[in-house]
Amino acid sequence: TRSDMKVLITGGAGFIGTNLAAALARAGAELIVLDSLTAQVHGPDADFPAEMRELENCDCVRGDVCDRELVRDLLVQVDAVVHLAAETGTGQSMYEILRYQRTNVQGTCTLVDVVVNERFKNIKKVIVASSRAVYGEGSYACREHGTVYPRGRTMERMSGGRFEPECPLCGLKVEPVPTREDAPFAPLSFYGLTKQVQEQTVLMFGQALGIDAIALRYQNVYGPGQSLNNPYTGLLAVYSGCAFSGAPFKVFEDGLESRDFVYIDDVIAVTAACLSPAVRGLHAVNVGSGVRTSVLEVAELIKRETGSAAPVSITGDFRIGDIRHNVADTSRMRALTGIAPRWEFSAGVRRFVQWAMKAPRVRNELEESLEELRQRGMLGGRRSC
């Protein structure tokens, strides 16, 4: 990152944005951080974190990314944008549709519209936070058909305890394999669809305007500082809340569903590297660890690290739109930035737990969020045989 760079970070008071701002400030960049400080993410009576307000050359602005005049006033001052502002609840996106469309799609289009129509030649690079959700289930290996991309799982199949995806061509059992960036778009949630639109919009207009544009497909980002009160994101936050309250660790499906968990420091290293003048052109890039960890392993690890006596309960419940497995192919990330993930999951969880144990206790409205899904027919349970 150049020390003379001036960067606008939208959604910059969030988990990734706060850490990115600190890293860029240490490198000498000038920053403008825009955030609406929504209660779902930041809690009631939210403000910018004290450590962010104390950064040198960092201007904190509370506002809406859809406010075109505000966005115009901020964009004229910078030469790069890291666009993180978004609503992020996968399940919630399936019924709060207009809210997700407004923030994720309209917010991105507002940024692009200003750059295009105000003819801002000062903007040299735009980085947009995309998501692994654009892939849906992603890549699997079938012994008959090679790499395949299973469709979303149905209520009927999962109600019968058949959680593993099948080959869409022959119906045989398939095994998860790392998903590459050239996998087809197949989002299973409206959130995933908005992420697809966000990244394709930024890459399309990056090409049209001759601006470097990079879509970072973040996997499951975790670590100290993540929101502990947002029930729609953050498996580690949910399970740490169970550990501290003594509530059972409720594990969906059969517990063998898996995710690619990537530690916040690795995410920030890759994101900051993409601001470097050495990274040019148009790119969609997975940002992950390249390692698959089951949800049951997560629950047991949090239980062990916290010393909790709460039981781990495999419920057989499931959410429509959830994927079964996820692991990223990180070859492009390594080639483009020269960065390989440094943090193993067990070490990252230990660091997260150490932080969470000292953090103020907050109420995570998990049960309320699950009840919302249940009322809308999007939360199911396994039938007893």
- Positions marked catalytic: 191
Sign of the Cα torsion 188, 190, 191, 192 reads positive
Neighbouring C-alpha atoms within 13 Å toward the C-beta of 264: 21
Q: How far is 151 from 323, CA to CA, in rounded Å?
A: 10
Q: How far is 373 from 339, CA to CA, in rounded Å?
A: 39
- Do you know the residue count of the chain? 385
Q: How far is 47 from 49, CA to CA, in rounded Å?
A: 6
Element (DSSP H or E) covering residue 202: helix 190-209
Q: Where are the alpha helices (DSSP H) in 54-150?
A: 68-75, 97-100, 107-117
**Cβ-based neighbour number of residue 256 at 10 Å:** 15
CB 114 within 8 A of CB 285: no
Sign of the Cα torsion 64, 65, 66, 68 reads positive
30 is written with which tokens? 């000038």
